Amino acid sequence: MNNKVLASLVIVCSIFGGVVGAKFFAPKLGGDFAGGIVPQQLFTTDTTNHGITPIGNLNYGFGGTAAANQVATLYTATANFPVSSNVNLGPITAATSTATTTIAFSASGFSVGDACNVSYNGTTSTNAFGADGFVTAVSGSNVTATVTFWNGANFIVALTPTSTATNASSVLKATCFHTGV
């Protein structure tokens, strides 16, 4: 045999060996899942409430119109607080360590007891100071949220009509939400 035939035979055998070897020694794949492991069904659907529920140890469903699956109703109301003079929160042990105010807005879908996230820029206190808010009255689409400011410090915290952070009127912002449950 001459060298050309020998070289051609080596090339053909190498190609054939590569194809056969690749078939027997390649990793097993199942679609996009390495190792040939194809997942089982991952979720079930419910056409009654238009939602999906994961199967297995994923215990949270989402979507749909059932009460537990509804998207939260949100509304953000703002008001100037205090309007004209300082509100001084006494030290934590004083009866004056809290103050309340109400903020009203018009929106449907809220219930008494719905929580409100409160933001306030009328004090620069970095001590134990905070505010909580809840919907306390609903009449049709008229909603009232009560915001309670509290002082956890051992000294007076002043809530001022003019924000020292913005040099404008102090703003109380309450974002209330109804989760659908």
- Domain assignments of the chain as residue spans, ordered by start: 1-39, 40-70, 71-178
Determine the pLDDT at residue 36.
55
Going by pLDDT thresholds of 50, 70 and 90, the confidence category of residue 59 is: very low
| Mean pLDDT value across the chain | 77
Determine the pLDDT at residue 136.
95
Determine the pLDDT at residue 61.
46
User: Is residue 147 pLDDT above 50, yes or no?
Assistant: yes
Determine the pLDDT at residue 72.
72
User: Is residue 68 pLDDT above 90, yes or no?
Assistant: no
User: Is residue 162 pLDDT above 60, yes or no?
Assistant: yes
User: Is residue 139 pLDDT above 60, yes or no?
Assistant: yes
Contact criterion met (CB below 8 Å) for 89 and 159: yes
For the residues 147-160, what does the mean pLDDT come to? 88
Indicate the burial class of 75 (C-beta count within 10 angstroms; 0-12, 13-18, 19 or more): buried
Determine the pLDDT at residue 134.
94
Within 10 Å of residue 79's Cβ, how many Cβ atoms?
17
Determine the pLDDT at residue 13.
66
- For tokens 């079930």, the residue is 44
pTM above 0.85, yes or no: no
User: Is residue 23 pLDDT above 80, yes or no?
Assistant: no
For the residues 45-72, what does the mean pLDDT come to? 58
Q: What percentage of the chain carries pLDDT values higher than 70?
A: 62
Higher pLDDT, 172 or 11: 172
User: Is residue 53 pLDDT above 60, yes or no?
Assistant: yes
